[in-house]
Amino acid sequence: MKKTIFLLLAIVVTVVSVNAQGGGGGFQRRTPEERTKMVMDKLADFKLDKDKYDQTDSAFINFYRAQQKVMQDIMAGGGQPDREKMMSETKKLADERDTKLKTIFTDDQYKKWKDEIEPSMRRGGGGNRPPGGGGGNGGGNN
Asked whether the beta carbons of 74 and 82 are under 8 A apart, the reply is yes
Name the DSSP class of 81: -
What's the pTM? 0.66
Asked whether the beta carbons of 6 and 84 are under 8 A apart, the reply is no
Please tell me the distance from the alpha carbon of residue 18 to that of residue 31, in angstroms, as a whole number.
Answer: 17
Please tell me the distance from the alpha carbon of residue 18 to that of residue 114, in angstroms, as a whole number.
Answer: 28
- Residue ranges per structural domain of the chain: 27-124
Helices (H), the chain: 2-20, 32-42, 50-76, 83-104, 107-112, 118-121
pLDDT in tens, the chain (142 residues): 665 554 445 564 555 454 454 444 555 788 999 999 999 999 999 999 999 999 999 999 999 999 999 888 888 877 777 888 888 999 999 999 999 999 999 999 999 999 999 998 876 544 444 444 444 454 445 5
